Amino acid sequence: MAALPIDAIIQRIADLQDETGLFASFRHNPTVFYHRPDTNVFFTAVTVFTLQNLRHAVLPGTQLLIDRIGGRAAAAYPEFRNKDGLPTYNFWPTRPSRHFSNGYVFRHFEHFRIPDDIDDTAMVYLTTAPTPADQLWLKQKLGQHANGSQGRQIRNTYPDYRNLHAYSTWFGKNMGVDFDACALSNSLFCIYQYNLPLNQHDTDSLIYLRSVVESGRYISEPFRCAPHYARTSLIIYHLARLLAAFPIPELESIRPRLIADAHRELTIAGNRVEQLILATALLRLGEPVPEINIDGVEHDFDTFHFFIAGLLTAYEQPWLRRFADRPLMQMRWQCEAHCWALVAEYLSLR
């Protein structure tokens, strides 16, 4: 297929939206030849978020199309709202729970039923118009589940981060505290977007983000820094998006390191979608990048994944965590619509 202009790509994305308002995605584990369609809110919300942020760069008719895509997606969001009606959101449908949707084994086990999380909730809030009351409620809710709150202490991070009162990925009472650099970036994006009051939880979340970059840990051990994304390129992408959107003095010191590492990662990335997200990060940080040929880029979609689920990530026992980063223990998610949105995002910045 010849390279498509940005407006044609967005029309293609619109054509991929199903009658429920969702975009199809798949989870797979190539190690065991596992492949299933997956019904989740994440890829729909993050696709809409990406499109809304490039709305200014497209024709008026395409702007209306983006609005229509967002409206149809928002109609699907209630299916993923907290099972008790609270304004937080789950990766999978909640009433009834459809965790590991379309599967044969995991969906029968309560162990694999995950609580609501900050990532999906942030993306839903960022692609809708939450009331000021809901915004403030969410800010308080984030603090209630942060590390150190209600006697909860993170165990699966580096020792020097264990006393940080940073936000946890999960809202559940029975889920261990979890730090993920990409999920934290999305949550902070939401907090800054709605100009919510900042506190120690925000300060410590920023300390975590700054430290994983300054220490180089996000290069040497990206899984430990962002267990649900697990790649340096994705951490760079999320941090660059946050830095470009808001003035955050606490993160300015890492800008040169992000730029240098993104340039290096770009030279070794084999997948063109991976190259696009690194180029997008560099463009957001004000850096020139070589043009990436997107002719036939859809052939790279099958070998790109934006999000993972580690089947052992939630466990706090060290002997189990030792195996959590193994490919055998991970599900990878793919979404054609989101890949096209990443292409369109790159073109809008070019």
CATH number at residue 110: 1.50.10
Give yes or no for a contact between 57 and 6, defined as CB atoms under 8 angstroms apart. Answer: yes
314 to 56, 161, 178, 319: CA distances (angstroms) = 40, 18, 8, 13
Can you tell me the mean pLDDT for 101-109? 52
The number of distinct structural domains making up the chain is 1
Can you tell me the mean pLDDT for 10-15? 98
Can you tell me the mean pLDDT for 146-165? 94
Task: Report the C-alpha gap between 216 and 243 in whole angstroms.
Answer: 18
**Boundaries of domain holding 71:** 6-349
pLDDT of residue 40: 96
165 domain residue, yes or no = yes
Predicted structure pTM score: 0.92
242 to 38, 42, 57, 190, 209: CA distances (angstroms) = 28, 18, 19, 10, 11
147 domain residue, yes or no = yes
335 domain residue, yes or no = yes
Give yes or no for a contact between 44 and 23, defined as CB atoms under 8 angstroms apart. Answer: yes
Type of residue numbered 143 = G
Assess whether pLDDT exceeds 90 at residue 1.
Answer: no
**Percent of the chain surpassing pLDDT 90:** 80
Instruction: Tell me 334's DSSP state.
Output: E
pLDDT of residue 103: 54
pLDDT of residue 320: 42
Can you tell me the mean pLDDT for 309-335? 59
Would you place residue 105 in the very low, low, confident or very high pLDDT band (cuts 50, 70, 90)? low
Would you place residue 313 in the very low, low, confident or very high pLDDT band (cuts 50, 70, 90)? low
| Residue 250, helix vs strand vs coil | helix
Can you tell me the mean pLDDT for 303-321? 65
Least confident of 85-89, 167-171, 329-333: 329-333
253 domain residue, yes or no = yes
Task: Report the C-alpha gap between 337 and 271 in whole angstroms.
Answer: 17
Would you place residue 99 in the very low, low, confident or very high pLDDT band (cuts 50, 70, 90)? low
> Strand pairing partners for 170?
117
Which helix or strand (DSSP H or E) is residue 122 part of? helix 118-126
320 domain residue, yes or no = yes
Would you place residue 104 in the very low, low, confident or very high pLDDT band (cuts 50, 70, 90)? very low
75 domain residue, yes or no = yes
Total length of the chain:
350
1 domain residue, yes or no = no
